[in-house]
Amino acid sequence: MSKRLFTRRAFAAAAVAASTIMISSFSYAGGHQKVDSIHFLIPGGAGGGWDGTARGTGEALTKSGLVGSATYENMSGGGGGKAIGYLIENAKSNHGTLMVNSTPIVIRSLTKVFPQNFRDLTLVAGTIGDYAALVVPSNSKIKNMSDLVAAYKADPNGVAVGGGSVPGGMDHLVAAMVMQAAGANPTDVKYVAYDAGGKAMAGLLSGEIKALSTGFSEAVAMAKAGEVNIIGVTSNDRVSAYPNAKTMKEQGINTSFVNWRGFFAAPGLPKDKLAAYQGAIAAMYKTAEWEAVRSRNGWENIHNSGDQFRAFLEQQEKEIEGLMKKLGFL
């Protein structure tokens, strides 16, 4: 074999190897794997809506082959502010990280729970909507919203409502919205805050609180296990993931609410990596693996990327600020 032929073959082999590495990191031909790996940063504890969304999304992305592997890290603290601060302060070393968040990033920046807001991060994509629900222990005397509202009107202090967010946060806001729509004083809600939905559910089952304001997907799992009854959902129509749960509206309480969840990256994320993450998430919606996760949790597909995501958040910020002022939270 001549030296010239060997050199050509070596060069060709090197070129193939280089292209294989590039493809494995970002996108395989034919639209298969888009990203090599993703580290999901979860601002709350295990068992909450953020935790379920991150792990469910990672499950769909990896099982469908769109992402090679996924890892998860729970970082509680500061109403979600600890994880946000960490991602901003360590931006350059976290280009492989996506942080899950939702409506609370808007609420908590308005109430100054933490100094940052969504504008300080790289906006990747909104992915799902999760309705809110009020639940009670399965052995509770409270069987429906009429029972809960009657007990609340009779003695607000005796009907503690818990949630996996800070006072004035989303779970508190939903409980106040519901009581206002039911003709009760929304500012009288005795709200007990827990760090994430899992701890809040434990507080409900131990009797620390009478009712729990939580995400519908979190409530479904406990209801199917026979531990709680879902007495009201903030959807316009019953949700197929648990059709026995009545909506607020069909019980005479004219209110609805859906909590978006989505993903953010560190500030300064390179454009090619942002495009790869957004491409993987967009492709995920067409997979059977995602549909299995989505239907299991009762989520609604609400997908918006980049500038659309920013416009959506800015509009929600205006709406929530007005509502919180009306309810006396701002």
Q: What does 179-241 look like in DSSP terms, one character per residue?
A: HHHTTS-GGG--EEE-SSHHHHHHHHHTTS-SEEEEEHHHHHHHHHTTSEEEEEE-SSS--TT
Query: One digit per residue, pLDDT tens: the chain, 330 residues?
Result: 444 333 444 434 444 444 333 333 344 434 589 999 999 999 998 888 899 999 999 999 999 999 999 999 999 998 899 999 999 999 999 999 999 999 989 998 998 889 999 999 999 999 999 899 999 999 999 999 999 999 999 999 999 999 987 788 888 999 999 999 999 998 899 999 987 677 888 889 898 999 999 989 889 988 999 999 999 999 999 998 899 999 999 999 999 888 899 999 999 999 999 999 999 999 999 999 999 999 888 888 989 998 999 999 999 999 889 888 877 888
Write down the residue that tokens 């193939």 correspond to.
Answer: 16
Q: How far is residue 311 from each of residues 40, 118, 133, 299, measured CA to CA in Å?
A: 24, 11, 27, 22
Proportion of the chain above pLDDT 70, given as a percent: 90
Give one DSSP letter per residue of 144-193, joined into a string.
SHHHHHHHHHH-GGGS-EEESS-TTSHHHHHHHHHHHHTTS-GGG--EEE
| DSSP code, position 34 | -
Spatial separation of the C-alpha atoms in residues 231 and 229, rounded to whole Å: 6
> pTM for the complete prediction?
0.74
pLDDT at 20 (0 to 100) = 38
β-partners of residue 258 are 131
The rounded Cα 224 to chain-centroid distance in angstroms is: 21
264 forms beta bridges with: 99, 123
From the number of C-beta atoms within 10 Å of its C-beta (0-12, 13-18, 19+), residue 213 rates as: buried
What's the CA gap between 273 and 95, in Å, rounded? Answer: 8
Q: What is the pLDDT of residue 94?
A: 97
Q: What is the pLDDT of residues 115-129, one digit of tens each?
A: 999 999 999 999 999
Among all chains, which residue has been given the structure tokens 């280089």? 18
- pLDDT at residue number 31: 52
State residue 19's pLDDT score. Answer: 39
